[in-house]
Structure 1
Amino acid sequence: MYDYVKPNLTGAESSIVRPAVAANNFELKPNTIQMIQQCVQFDEFCNTFKINGVSDNGIRLRLFLFR
């Protein structure tokens, strides 16, 4: 019975879609990732820097993986 009610995730995709980045050299530095992992106010930290060609949401979605 358990096998019939167990969810099947085959073919399932994430509903989170990271936007395309227009920057040629977009890179998340290891020290930035480390600061994100230690940071309490994620949103406030993300607002402290900008990267040309990368939207605010693009930065947040990439950094959230390390949170």
Structure 2
Amino acid sequence: MNKQITIQGKDGIDLMEREKALEKVQSLTTQELKNLASLADSDKARKYLSDPIKFKTLKTFL
């Protein structure tokens, strides 16, 4: 089953980066996607995702 989703970006480059990210996310299982999406509810997790140094630390840990 398919559903189309509209995405928006600040500019053409931002839109292209969002499209690439969503294409990668599409390969996740439903459970993996739900777990990833739950991070959006956490202010602490979002700070790690938005700060390059904190994100690098997180990736190293994983």
- TM bucket by the smaller chain? 0.3 to 0.5
- The structure whose Rg is larger is 1
Instruction: Return the structure number with greater helix share.
Output: 2
Give the structure, 1 or 2, with the largest relative contact order (CA under 8 Å, sep 6 or more).
Answer: 1
Instruction: Provide the TM-score with structure 2 as the length reference.
Output: 0.33
Instruction: Provide the TM-score with structure 1 as the length reference.
Output: 0.32
